Amino acid sequence: MTGSSAPANGTKPKQYSYYPGCAIKGTGIAYEESLLEVYRLLGVAWQELTDWSCCGAQAYMTVDAGQSCMLSARNLRIAYQSGSHDIVAPCSACYLALRKCKDYVERYPRMREVVGDFMPASDLQAIANVRVRHALDMLYVDIGPSAFRARATRPWPGGKVACYYGCQAVRPYSEVDRDGNPMRMDELLEAVGVPVAQWPLKTKCCGSSHTGTLHEVGVRMGYLLLKEAVRRGAEAVITICPLCQFNLDVYQKDMTRSTGESFDIPILFLPQALGWALGADHRALGLHRGISGAETLRRWFAGPREGASDG
């Protein structure tokens, strides 16, 4: 898949290597739909990484650190060979795995040796030139709040939102934003007229895969986040990671069951909110794919006529 637009001034526009990752092709599909729709509306040129593989995420790291690193090195090499040296990863876990791989190869001779079993030294050198970008980093730095402000055509139909950055986008490689109180997502949303709630849990863990393994522990982590967000007046939570979105969106009924407190609020991806401001269609942004807060989503985005449609 590729996307591009006619450059306005005749120069060749910068092309990004788009690395979706596994989650975005499945449960996080709305993230991909909305991000690519925003790219289309803004004329950002991108190219999906050919034959990309798993990033070697934390579950892999748990069993074999070397192989996990090899998988990321493989993806970085594909990006280098494609000529588009900025690799955009919307998933925070993918972003971290790619950054970690680069860091390991640059700083640790032992890891260089392990990855060296898999690719020649020249390729190892080459991947140092690939720049790993999180989708938020790319949207904020390369496009920026003022460009979004200038292009925004549609007012926000809903209430306040809480910006949830999650863990691995800002730690331990905090190039995306600062770890303490990240603001880039807040700034982008405020630029397009979305009211943002003050919320101190921006980078607290969502429970990760514990929602599937140690269910009550995982669900409670999400519960703590939502409880505070609601208390601070947020009517929706905006995320930048498919796992964060999944945990907060899918398990609200479980939270209600275990605590007796009722939760039913929409959990969106950042480009869904930005795309709405740019005038995109609600289906093109995947806004019909939410599990929780479905009623709110329809009221805000679908309009009365489309209200009856479903999945």
Partner 1 sequence: MRRDARDKLSEDAGPVPVQSRPAIRRELKLQREADGAWLGKFADLPGCERIASCTQCGACSAACPLSIYMDVTPRRLMALVRSGFRSEALKSRSIWLCTSCYACVAACPQKISVADLMFALKREAIETRVYPKRFAVPVLSDEFMNMVRTRGRSSDFWLAARMTLRSSPAALFGMAAIGWRLWRAGRLRLSMEGIHLLAEFQRASLARKDAA
Site residues for partner 1 per CB under 8 A: 22-23, 25-30, 51-54, 56-67, 70-71, 74, 104, 107-108, 110-111, 114, 117-118, 167-168, 171-172, 174, 179, 203-205, 207-210, 212-214, 216-217, 220-221, 250, 288-291, 310-311
Least distance to partner 1, CB of residue 33, Å:
10
Least distance to partner 1, CB of residue 150, Å:
33
Least distance to partner 1, CB of residue 292, Å:
10
Least distance to partner 1, CB of residue 110, Å:
6
**Torsion 187-193-197-201 (CA) sign:** negative
Structure tokens at 254: 């479980």
Q: Which is nearer to partner 1, 198 or 209 (CB)?
A: 209
Which residues are CB-neighbours of 38 under 8 A, at least 6 positions away?
Answer: 44, 139, 271, 274, 275, 278, 280
Three-state DSSP class for residue 186: helix
Q: Which is nearer to partner 1, 169 or 194 (CB)?
A: 169
Residue 173 has φ and ψ, to the nearest 5°, of -95, 95
What value does the CA radius of gyration of the chain take, rounded to a whole number of Å? 19
Rounded to a whole number, what is the distance in angstroms from the first to the last CA of the chain?
Answer: 24
Q: Which is nearer to partner 1, 158 or 166 (CB)?
A: 166
Q: Which is nearer to partner 1, 4 or 27 (CB)?
A: 27
Q: Which is nearer to partner 1, 133 or 220 (CB)?
A: 220
Q: Which is nearer to partner 1, 207 or 275 (CB)?
A: 207
Least distance to partner 1, CB of residue 81, Å:
11
Beta strand extents in the chain (DSSP E only): 2-3, 15-18, 45-48, 86-89, 131-134, 161-164, 236-239, 267-269
Structure tokens at 193: 């007229």
Least distance to partner 1, CB of residue 223, Å:
11
